[in-house]
Amino acid sequence: MSRVAVMGTGSWGTTFAVVLADAGSKVTMWGRRPQVCEAIAGRHENPDYLPGLELPHTVTADPDPAVALDGADIVVLAVPAQTLRTNLAVWKPLIGPSAVTVSLMKGVEKGTLKRMSEVIGEVLEIGPERNAVVSGPNLAAEIAARQPTATVVACTDHDTAEQVAAACSAPYFRPYTNHDVIGVELSGAVKNVIALAVGMVEGMGLGDNSKASIITRGLAEITRLGVALGAEPATFAGLAGMGDLVATCASPLSRNRTFGVHLGQGMTVDEVVAITNRTAEGVKSTGAILGLAREHGVDMPIAEAVTGVVNGEVPLSELAGSLLSRARKSELA
């Protein structure tokens, strides 16, 4: 039986803890708010993020990271992408020398333009063989209701990917393994930006042709960037690529898509942030993703338009025009 620490008691951290427990793992969560940890450990619930769900009694939680990390074979990281580096610096001395890390996060670090597994490798000074990523069409609320889904466990080391996949294989949760960490991780981060664009389109009252066009050309952008960074094209046709893109862009449960809908209806970024306390990673990562694209000479017009709107540099009324007025090109270019 794996002993797993889940660092972060938000929607996905808590849901993934349920998956791990249902798969037979023993789970201790860390959360920064003691009252949330008390609710998880004492009443087997997380009313802030998953109200009404009874958590397995094998899931416990503690606000002391030393308690959560003590003896953990697997350390799951589920905090906002932009706080990860600071959090890891505190946790580093508490993580065992052979523990495997698993990033659940779908963002790119501002400033450094690093993927989450890169930040983890750098701060914890661990090799790629201990550094795994889980990403796929995984809307937390559906999985918390034990609705069937598949996902991808990515690690350059097959044994590590298998170890993590075994720890999270539940009757309703089927992990596939993949060695393409770059492709799997980038897919998860960039689809959030595309979901913001689809949400804006929805909020502006446009229809399914517009959304399908954004989703399809969005996949082309994700693939171009990924391949330029060394990913394998096939990954983008898989669960972490097209699968997650479709789930996120289609679902009202997606925080990124919902954020975009509010923007499309005319709210400002600050106004949307004020009415939600959930992590919409695309908002903070879109500039970093565009930075990566520019660094590698990759054309990403949708990410560029979304960044412009999010930064208040491009009026929403110009979003469609900025995409449609570009020079004609081959679909396959």
Ligand X SMILES: NC(=O)c1ccc[n+]([C@@H]2O[C@H](COP(=O)([O-])OP(=O)(O)OC[C@H]3O[C@@H](n4cnc5c(N)ncnc54)[C@H](O)[C@@H]3O)[C@@H](O)[C@H]2O)c1
User: Which tokens go with 239?
Assistant: 């669960």
Distance CA 104, CA 106 (A): 7
Residues 17, 59 contacting (CB under 8 angstroms): yes
As a whole number of Å, the CA-based R_g of the chain is 19
Binds 287: which of ligand X, ligand G3P, none (CB < 5-8 Å by kind)? none
Binds 32: which of ligand X, ligand G3P, none (CB < 5-8 Å by kind)? ligand X
**Residue 151 in the binding site for ligand X (CB under 6 A):** no
Which one-letter DSSP state was computed for residue 145?
Answer: T
Query: In the annotation, is 191 catalytic?
Result: yes
User: Which tokens go with 14?
Assistant: 């808590």
Identify residues 79-108 at the interface with ligand X (CB under 6 A): 79-81, 83, 87, 104-107
Write down the residue that tokens 């559906």 correspond to.
Answer: 142
Active-site annotation holder among 114, 191, 211, 284: 191
Distance CA 54, CA 46 (A): 8
Looking at the Cβ atoms of 28 and 138, the one nearer to ligand G3P is 138
Residues 39, 65 contacting (CB under 8 angstroms): no
Phi, psi of 33 (to 5 degrees): -100, 115
Give, to the nearest 10 degrees, the angle between helix 208-228 and helix 181-203: 150
What 3-state class would DSSP assign to 214? helix
Q: Does residue 98 have a known ligand-binding role?
A: no
Identify residues 246-305 at the interface with ligand X (CB under 6 A): 278-279, 281
Shortest Cβ distance from residue 234 to ligand X (Å)?
22
The residues of the shown chain that bind ligand G3P, judged by CB under 6 A, are 106, 137-139, 192, 195, 244, 247-248, 254-257
Shortest Cβ distance from residue 70 to ligand G3P (Å)?
29
User: Which tokens go with 103?
Assistant: 């990033």
**Residue 55 in the binding site for ligand X (CB under 6 A):** no
Shortest Cβ distance from residue 255 to ligand X (Å)?
7
Looking at the Cβ atoms of 35 and 276, the one nearer to ligand G3P is 276
Shortest Cβ distance from residue 327 to ligand G3P (Å)?
31
Residues 221, 161 contacting (CB under 8 angstroms): no
Distance CA 41, CA 158 (A): 34
Binds 248: which of ligand G3P, ligand X, none (CB < 5-8 Å by kind)? ligand G3P
User: Applying CB under 6 A, which residues contact ligand X?
Assistant: 8-13, 31-32, 49, 78-81, 83, 87, 104-107, 138-140, 278-279, 281
Instruction: Please give the annotated binding residues, written as ranges.
Output: 11-12, 32-33, 49, 106, 136, 140, 191, 244, 254-256, 281
* Residues labelled catalytic: 191
